[in-house]
Amino acid sequence: MKPETGSGAVRSTRAHRLLRRWGRVVLSRTVPVEEVKLYPTGPQFFEAFFSALATAQSYICIEYYIIRADQTGNRLAEELTAACRRGVQVFLMYDYIGCIDTPETYFRELRRQGVRCLAFNPPSFRRGIRWFDRRDHRKLTVIDGSLAFLGGLNIADEYAGLGKEHLRFRDVGFSLTGSATSHLAELFQDIWKMEEGSAPELPGPLEAHFAGAACQIEESRISLVSGGPHQLRSTIRTVFRGALALAGTELLIANPYFIPGPLILRSLLRAARRGVIIRLLLPARSDVPVVRLLSRSVYRQLLDAGIEIYELEQELLHAKLMLVDGSRTVIGSANLDQRSFHRNFEINAVVHCRLFGAQIRALFGADLIRSRRITADIHGQRGTMVRLLERLLQPFGWFL
């Protein structure tokens, strides 16, 4: 076989250099999977999620940034309570700040039913003011060591397609089976131990017990990317940069909190200069309006480089996706912002599967139809006050 030459070899060398230099944690988490299934909407995700919880036989590990005491959160409580009654060990970890609006009685009742609940990073005078800036932003469930659910969806009605339409989030999730799930269980144990001092003991994995239409991954693997403030260099950002460096023909990116920083911005512009077609799907409305202002402050550079920008208008975009050349999908909890790179605990997966990529492409196509394309003329029409705010807020991008 002839060695790769030309621009493809340059891209491959650059990406592998990034991973070798900064991504040892990533490479050690590259594992085989049996099946991966995409849930393109919140209702589809939660239907499969709750059905799977009802089949748990040994243990359930759940880790979410937000868990609300609404219809969706109460359904979760019912399933976990039922699991405890049939002898399943249930461990639930939630972010203290993310769940600040959730009554403590919700978790107290779960504890009373036998669920081991742990709040991540509660207020502490011993930790000082820095405690406030650490978040567990991961969305992870492992069932019996044989099935896992990941993605960007929190446990709340607005993610499950309930409530007022203009307040609903547009998000996606996925499930996987195979040996990757045992690695995810280890990641759950690691952060539990980090917070409590000791890790929960989990039984060995059972046989997979969840069936459904899925992408069979043949002779391929999935890379599990765990990032957090304990890392000297951001693994999450390194993998994003590696994916951008490998792009040869097309990049499709959806992200709700787009404050890329100079390194990611530079990688995007390099990809555009070498002829990669890049389409960004970003929110027209945001639950954090200041983030939208900061995102739009870099539109001019992107548009001048030929990058296409679309804004989803009907729902609040919350999906975090990157599709590289139709075959490599980066999907999970991490945003393209400094908080996800440096101060949140996050978990992404890189799925190497053309069938999975085709599903992601179809999802993008449907969402782009419902979006507004932002051109240089449209972007130039924003008012003087908006431009001034963009400039004033730029120094604060690292803190959001």
DSSP bridge pairs for 127 = none
Length of the chain: 400
Q: Is 37 a catalytic residue?
A: no
From the list 95, 136, 137, 352, the catalytic residue is 137
- DSSP reduced 3-state for 139: coil
Distance between CA atoms of 367 and 131, rounded to whole angstroms?
Answer: 38
In terms of Cα–Cα distance, which of 60, 339, 344 is closest to 210?
Answer: 60
Q: Which of 37, 136, 139, 157 is catalytic?
A: 139
Q: Are 306 and 333 in contact (CB under 8 A)?
A: no
Query: Has 318 been annotated as catalytic?
Result: yes
Q: What are phi and psi for residue 67, nearest 5 degrees? A: -135, 115
Q: What DSSP designation does 77 have?
A: H
Is 139 marked active-site?
A: yes
Annotated catalytic residue, options 318, 337, 342, 367: 318
164 is catalytic: no
Cα distance between residue 135 and residue 339, in whole Å: 9
Instruction: Note if 320 is an active site residue.
Output: yes
Q: Which of 320, 337, 352, 367 is catalytic?
A: 320
- Asked if 144 is an active-site residue, the reply is yes
Please identify which residue in the block is written with the tokens 């007022």: 164
Alpha-carbon distance 208 to 59, whole Å?
Answer: 13
Q: Where are the alpha helices (DSSP H) in the chain?
A: 6-22, 24-28, 42-53, 71-85, 104-112, 180-196, 235-246, 261-273, 289-296, 299-304, 338-342, 354-369, 376-380, 384-393
Catalytic residue of the set 37, 95, 136, 144: 144
Q: For the chain, first and last CA: distance in Å?
A: 48
- Residues taking part in catalysis: 137, 139, 144, 318, 320, 325
